[in-house]
């Protein structure tokens, strides 16, 4: 079977977030052990597996995502990568519906090459800053918020952009403070640079020290920053070493995530 590596939430190779994508020619998924082994072999933050569903149902493709260590409930960049592969190979056109652990997700391709994902908006619940988080991050939080179960992160607001960019966290210590990890965010120092807010995401509990660009985290960042900035349509920068932009549009209980993707490697799985 063909397997691809796609850089998501970027318009150029070797940036954004890498995802493995395998479109299966079977009517069901292989056993979980095989999927996990393939994901571990690729050793990317996520590998997506999809197979076609019978016509006439509520979704067109079944979709699952695996980190090198575990399966996850929701992944934005690997969904974008999968939609990109479907459209660039001519396997699908227009809007594609995915059945996933977090519900029905859609991906709509546009003529300019971008793709818009429709994901559930994360519910944010104010929380006390856990003891030890400031030391683990190396920065003093302004506030903390729990995110919805499908995201499973602790969202931490920091003072400014410079603080987010300078983070050098104690990754093992962060693992004690959420189910998946920690989202650190602040407002952009100068929105004229093309983004309204920035973030960095650390996910030690699923085997990812720092994720390059995290679509699912933006389902929490979108309502957080829309409430503060007074606009539903924003652009977020994830300020990792690879970096990437996510355009977010808050639509009540749904969040639209728009970005681009580039296929960088395509080959055959030989075993």
46 given a catalytic annotation: yes
Task: Give the separation between CA 70 and CA 32, rounded to whole angstroms.
Answer: 10
Both tokens of 4, joined, read 């691809």
Residue with token string 């503060």: 228
Residue with token string 């030391």: 135
Catalytic residue among 28, 46, 123, 161: 46
Q: How many CB atoms lie within 10 A of CB 78?
A: 31
Both tokens of 269, joined, read 């799985």
Task: Give the separation between CA 244 and CA 4, rounded to whole angstroms.
Answer: 20
Locate all alpha helices (DSSP H) within the chain, ordered by sequence: 32-42, 76-88, 133-137, 161-165, 171-174, 218-229
Task: Give the separation between CA 154 and CA 79, rounded to whole angstroms.
Answer: 22
Residue with token string 């983070």: 167
Catalytic (active-site) positions = 46
């Amino acid at each position: 079977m063909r397997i691809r590596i796609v850089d998501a939430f970027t318009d150029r190779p070797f940036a954004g977030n890498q995802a493995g994508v395998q479109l299966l020619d079977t009517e069901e998924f292989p056993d979980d052990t095989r999927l996990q082994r393939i994901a571990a072999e690729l050793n990317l933050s996520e590998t997506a597996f999809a197979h076609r569903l019978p016509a006439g149902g509520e979704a067109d493709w079944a979709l699952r995502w695996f980190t090198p260590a575990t399966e996850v409930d929701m992944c934005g960049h690997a969904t974008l990568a999968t939609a990109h592969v479907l459209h660039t190979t001519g396997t699908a056109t227009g809007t594609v519906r995915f059945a996933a652990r977090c519900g029905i997700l859609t991906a709509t391709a546009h003529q300019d090459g971008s793709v818009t994902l429709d994901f559930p908006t994360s519910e944010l619940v104010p929380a006390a800053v856990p003891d030890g988080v400031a030391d683990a991050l190396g920065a003093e939080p302004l506030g903390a918020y729990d995110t919805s179960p499908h995201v499973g992160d602790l969202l931490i607001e920091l003072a400014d952009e410079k603080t987010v960019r300078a983070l050098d966290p104690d990754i093992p210590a962060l693992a004690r403070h959420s189910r998946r990890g920690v989202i650190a965010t602040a407002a952009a120092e100068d929105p004229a640079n093309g983004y309204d807010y920035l973030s960095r995401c650390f996910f030690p509990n699923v085997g990812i020290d720092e994720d390059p660009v995290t679509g699912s985290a933006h389902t929490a960042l979108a309502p957080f920053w829309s409430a503060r900035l007074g606009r539903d349509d924003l652009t977020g920068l994830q300020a990792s070493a690879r970096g990437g932009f996510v355009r977010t549009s808050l639509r009540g209980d749904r969040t639209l995530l728009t970005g681009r993707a580039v296929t960088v490697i395509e080959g055959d799985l030989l075993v």
